[in-house]
Structures are given as structure tokens and as C-alpha cells.
Amino acid sequence: MMRLDKLLSHAGWGSRKQVRELIRKGRVQVNGQTVRKDDLHVDELQDQVTVEDKQVSAPKEIVLMLHKPAGVVSAIRDDRYPTVMDCVGTLPGSLFPVGRLDRDTTGLLLITNNGALAHDLLAPKKHVEKTYEVVLKKDWDPRWQTAIEQGLTIDQGEVCRSAHVCQKDTRKILLTLHEGKYHQVKRMMLACDNEVAQLKRIRFGPLMLDETLAPGQWRFCSEAEIRALKQGRSQEERQKRIV
């Protein structure tokens, strides 16, 4: 969603002041209806916006994959640290990260201008799978496997959803979660009498981290990848209807 005056201005119809004049004069229509509120929020990807019958082209949908480096925060702005948006540089439209990784976590982070897609990918009830490569400070004790699969209790009784562990090395596991609690992997490892030394997200839903991207590098997601992200959503919707 985006303010109507911002959308018109970004689409080249003039400064904010000029486009507000257009709106007040009744020259702008949203889905065929004349609107006079410049602070109206429109869905730039769904709503039909016209200025006296001329189509206002919506900003293109952007979804990109960043290999987040350590040391940057998953925010649009920050007073103290560089942000993931600094990695991406200047692109048209209002982009934002899909969820958060801790400052010291590396790996796959999606960045988009599609608010509805981001919302769906993050909705707790969608259970989008995320896989983390976890390097541990102590050897992995496989006796924790069952507890993790059944739903580990962390901190003061917070119960995690069932997760999946695959041991890769004495001090390395792959952990797949279906939710995204605050500092979840770190808190789960503390509950398993261990501690995270390094954390990297290697999968988000249907997408694997593109290992040709060095930390700090990004690329646009392909149409097939965007379709897969959206299909994940609609598959969940279909399943809900069947059950």
C-alpha cells in the first residue's frame, strides 16, 4: 500500500504539491471513482489509478535476494549501524526487508516493494519454512533431536513448534523452523545446553540462498522464484479449504 500522492509523484505526475492539486481538482480516479483525498492509501499493484483516463503505471513489483553480511541491521534506517538497504543501494519504489535477521546473522534475506507478499510470507499461520546453518560452540548432542521435533520449550516455558534438525558435523547442524520467534535459533540452542557461534539462513520458503552471491551481494529474484513464493501462499490457502 502506498499514499496516492506518493504514487502519482513517483510515477512522474509532478511534485507532491502538484499532484495534490490534481487530486483536489478531482482529476484522479481510483478504480473508476474520482477521489479527492491525497492521503488515501492505494494498493500500487492492484488498484487502477488514472489521471483523466490516462493509466498511472504502477511501480514494477520488485523482489530481490540479498546475501546479508554480518554487521548490518535488517531495517530501513538505523542511527548506529549500516542497514540491509545500504547493501542494495538506490532502486525505485519503497523497498523493505521481509522480516529480520540479527545483526550478526548472515544469509538469505528477501527485500521487496510488495507489502501483501511480505505480509503473507511473515504471517505466523502460514508457517513458511526457514532453514538455518548453525555452527555451535560445543559438540551437538543428538539427544536433543526428539525434543526439537516434538516442540522445544525455551526460556520461561515458551513452546516452539516442531522443528527439524539435520546434523552436518560435530559442531554444525541444519535447523528448519516453521515460525520466527525473536532470536529463536539462539534461544533454542541455549535451551539445548549449547550456544550459537555462527548463524546463516540458507533457505526461506521455496528459495535457497544463491551461493554465487558473496555476503553483501544481491540479485533480483526470477519470475519463477516469485511465482514459487506466491504459490507457497496459495497452496496453504488451498490446503486450508480442503481441511
Write out the catalytic residue numbers: 102
Per CB under 6 A, 185 contacts ligand URA: yes
Q: Which stretch binds ligand URA (CB under 6 A): 44-52, 78-86, 100-108, 134-142?
A: 100-108
Query: Which C-beta is closer to ligand URA: that of 99 or that of 115?
Result: 99
Per CB under 6 A, 114 contacts ligand URA: no
Per CB under 6 A, 186 contacts ligand URA: yes
Instruction: Report residue 223: phi and psi, to 5°.
Output: -60, -40
Please name the residue ranges forming H helices in the chain: 4-10, 16-24, 84-88, 115-122, 144-150, 184-191, 223-242
Per CB under 6 A, 175 contacts ligand URA: no
Query: Which C-beta is closer to ligand URA: that of 105 or that of 112?
Result: 105
Q: Is 238 exposed, middle or buried (0-12, 13-18, 19+ CB in 10 A)?
A: exposed
Query: Which C-beta is closer to ligand URA: that of 163 or that of 221?
Result: 163
Query: Which C-beta is closer to ligand URA: that of 22 or that of 199?
Result: 199
Interaction pattern, residues 195-224, with ligand URA; x per rule: CB under 6 A: ----x-------------------------
Per CB under 6 A, 101 contacts ligand URA: yes
Q: Which of 43, 61, 102, 129 binds ligand URA (CB under 6 A)?
A: 102
Report the length, in residues, of the chain.
243
Q: Which stretch binds ligand URA (CB under 6 A): 54-62, 75-83, 99-107, 165-173?
A: 99-107
Beta-bridge partners for 96: 112
The answer to whether residues 42 and 4 touch, using CB atoms and an 8 Å cutoff, is: yes
Give the three cell numbers for residue 4: 496516492
Q: Which of 65, 95, 105, 117 binds ligand URA (CB under 6 A)?
A: 105
DSSP state of 80: S
Q: What one-letter code names the amino acid at 225? A: E
CA dist., res. 20 & res. 8, Å (int): 9
* 2 Cβ neighbours under 8 A, 6+ residues apart: 41, 42, 43, 44, 94
**Interacting residues with ligand URA (CB under 6 A):** 101-102, 105, 183-186, 199
